[in-house]
Amino acid sequence: MGIRQAVFGGGCFWCTEAVFQMLKGVTKVEPGYAGGAMKNPSYERVSMGDTGHAEVIRVTYDPAAISYEDLLTVFFGSHDPTTPNRQGNDVGEQYRSVIFYGNDEEKQVAQKVSKEIQESLKDGTRVVTQIMPLDTFYPAEDYHRDYFKKNTSAPYCMLIIEPKVEKVRKRFAELVNPGA
């Protein structure tokens, strides 16, 4: 099977990076940008909301230790897939919910899990997560890597990221590395 990669956007990449770094079988998480037409986008340009890119993470994982479907379950469970172009106070298309697939198998699994999430919603909301082929992943600037680990006492980390990390630790305990 070998090592694989998955690319997801679920709001601020500082949050999604922190969540996926905790998971068993995940060997690397890189923040970056995908989904737009601009070549080599910068954080400043993506933040303007006019590049078409989303803030994303590229997850390198061992499918013998964690499945793509499990990654998707954590993805959907760690953000709100029913709000278009927004996660909490982060607003704009760069914060949209999106799954970038690399092959037909990933596309089918993403569609299946998205449909299951939609069918579980009883409040009339709709899953707005985009499922798109991955064209190009652009790594984010170095200062975004390991942001939560390096800035745990920053207000954004304490107020936004830490509660999300704790939620995932509890909700997906069987998928989280002990001590993470």
Domain CATH code at residue 129? 3.30.1060.10
15: annotated active-site residue: no
Q: Which of 12, 54, 140, 165 is catalytic?
A: 12
Domain assignment present for residue 179? The answer is no
pLDDT of amino acid 1: 66
pLDDT of amino acid 86: 87
pLDDT of amino acid 147: 96
Measuring CA to CA, which residue among 80, 70, 103, 85 is closest to residue 172?
Answer: 70
Helix (H) / strand (E) containing 168: helix 162-171
Measuring CA to CA, which residue among 86, 81, 77 is closest to residue 130?
Answer: 81
Measuring CA to CA, which residue among 17, 43, 10 is closest to residue 138?
Answer: 43
Domain that holds residue 53: 4-174
pLDDT of amino acid 179: 74
Axis crossing angle, helix 13-21 with helix 162-171, rounded to the nearest 10 = 40
Average pLDDT of every residue of the chain: 94
Domain assignment present for residue 120? The answer is yes
pLDDT of amino acid 180: 72
* Tokens, residue 120: 């579980």
- pLDDT digits over 144-163, tens only? 999 999 999 999 999 999 99
Low-confidence ranges of the chain (pLDDT < 50): none
Q: Which amino acid, residue 9?
A: G
State how many domains the chain has. Answer: 1
What are residue 97's DSSP bridge partners? Answer: 10
pLDDT of amino acid 23: 97
Domain assignment present for residue 180? The answer is no
pLDDT of amino acid 89: 79
Q: Are 34 and 137 in contact (CB under 8 A)?
A: yes
DSSP codes of every residue in 12-41: -HHHHHHHHHTBTTEEEEEEEEESSS-SS-
Domain assignment present for residue 124? The answer is yes
pLDDT of amino acid 92: 87
